[in-house]
Amino acid sequence: MSITQKVANIVESITINAPASRVFAALTQSDELLQWWTGACTLTSYHADLKAGGSWVMRGADSDGDPFEINGEFTLIQAPHLIEFTWRTLGQTEANVPFTLVRYALEERLGVTTLTVTHTGFVRELDRQNHAEGWKSVLQLLNKYAQTQTA
Amino acid sequence: MTHPQNMVFKALADPTRREILSLLRSGGSSVGDIAVNFQMSRPAVSKHLRQLREAGLIIDRPVGTARICELNPEPLELIDIWLSEYRVFWKNQLSRLKAHVEANQHVNHSKSRQHR
């Protein structure tokens, strides 16, 4: 895995004992999402126009009780296998955080679904001016720094 | 109020500033020596240096009458922390989703679909 991927991408998977259509519904239907999403934060609303180009927004309160809003746009929907959307957190301390990209990939086998969430774009979005070399060295620095921290 | 994380992101978002950091990887350098690498005015370079300094990414060290800019990678840790927070967040969300779906196997969504 390259340094860039290691630093810049988040990939998490889980196996769920249910068909993909069932998982897809839980990921996209607001009445269901409101039930399971809430954890450290409290989700109060979720609105989604579930089609490519459609927008989505979720609002709630974080663990300190401060309101937050996360929004974005769907870029790709292939029910029940793929959902891709942009993601931007609007909060008091994160106003400058740019859009990133989240992708849910669902793979069903014998009634069991493996869901993989990939969250990318942390670097790409900052690099709108497409200056890869500069970033490469910054990422190398970060990687080196991370190694000294774990050593 | 400016969040330190945002200052680091803002500082890194500019290609010139990233290039300055890149130059400083091989060691400290005076403002003049940094400026010759860029086709922009010295005040413009100084402005970039100021933003890097404010984000804590470079530190000035006086050497005689000159000022040497040195790289300080420590604030980059903020980006690492930011990403780790997301990693933990998604791990938690996925386990919550799993618990929810496995406990509600037979939810009927035909009704809500019709209204779309």
User: What digits encode the pLDDT tens for the residues A131-147?
Assistant: 444 455 555 555 555 45
Half-sphere exposure of residue A79, counting CA atoms within 13 Å on the CB side?
12
Q: Under a CB-based contact definition with an 8 Å cutoff, are residues A15 and A75 in contact?
A: no
Contact check, Cβ <8 Å, B79/A25: no
Q: What is the pLDDT of residue A8?
A: 58
Q: Is the pLDDT of residue A112 over 80?
A: yes
Tell me which DSSP letter residue A91 carries.
Answer: -
Name which of B103, B88, B93 is nearest A36 in CA terms. Answer: B93
Q: What is the pLDDT of residue A141?
A: 58
Residue A22 — pLDDT band, cuts 50, 70, 90? Answer: very high
Q: Under a CB-based contact definition with an 8 Å cutoff, are residues B59 and B72 in contact?
A: yes
**Beta-carbon count within 10 A of B114 CB:** 7
Nearest CA in chain B to A49: B116
Conformational region of residue A105, where left means phi above 0, alpha means psi within -120 to 50, and beta covers everything else? beta
What ipTM did this prediction achieve?
0.75
Structure tokens at B55: 């984000």
Domains of chain A: 3-150 (3.30.530.20)
- Residue of higher predicted confidence among A112 and A130: A112
Q: Under a CB-based contact definition with an 8 Å cutoff, are residues B5 and B37 in contact?
A: no
Residue pLDDT, tens place only, B34-56: 999 999 999 999 999 999 999 99
Residue pLDDT, tens place only, A32-68: 999 898 876 788 999 999 999 999 999 998 778 888 8
Q: Report percent pLDDT > 70 for chain B.
A: 85
Q: Is the pLDDT of residue A2 over 50?
A: no
When scoring B24, B82, B90 by the number of chain A Cβ atoms within 10 A, the one with the most, hence best to mutate, is B90
Structure tokens at A31: 């009445």
Tell me which DSSP letter residue B82 carries.
Answer: H
Contact check, Cβ <8 Å, B97/A137: no
User: Rounded CA gap, B76 and A118, in Å?
Assistant: 22
Q: Is the pLDDT of residue B96 over 90?
A: yes
Mean pLDDT, residues A16-35 = 93
Q: Under a CB-based contact definition with an 8 Å cutoff, are residues B51 and B17 in contact?
A: yes
Whether omega for the bond prior to residue B43 falls within 30 degrees of 0, making it cis, is: no
